[in-house]
Amino acid sequence: QAGLTQPPSVSRDLRQTATLTCTGNSDNVGNQGAAWLQQHQGHPPKLLSYRTNKRPSGVSERVSASRSGNTASLTITGLQPEDEADYYCSAWDSSLSAWVFGGGTKLTVL
């Protein structure tokens, strides 16, 4: 099953802003929106955003998500050392009747 496309890595300086992207098509991101997950090494993923731009309770206000066409974006402002992690996007694909994931982006905070 075709997945979503994410850049393998992004590096930003401490206290700067990082924007991660996730590109799909009209059957998934463009139609259903995307969810974003954060995973620190050795731990299960944690939900950061769902249904394009909804933030679960307990997630930092520094995190926001959006979508433009078939591309979803996750923005983290005021980067902190604890933001260094792997980030995955996912969307329901109405053509495949399956969830699809991106390959993940490793965010490094310099």
Q: By CB under 8 A, is residue 24 in contact with another protein? A: no
According to CB under 8 A, which one of 54, 62, 80, 108 is a site residue for another protein? 54
Total interface residues for another protein by CB under 8 A:
21
Q: By CB under 8 A, is residue 7 in contact with another protein? A: no
**Cα–Cα distances in angstroms (integers) from residue 25 to residues 5, 73, 75, in the given order:** 10, 14, 21
**Cα–Cα distances in angstroms (integers) from residue 57 to residues 4, 17, 60, 92, 105, in the given order:** 26, 22, 8, 22, 23
- In the complex, the residues that contact another protein under the rule CB under 8 A are 1, 35, 37, 44-47, 50-51, 54, 56, 88, 90, 97-104
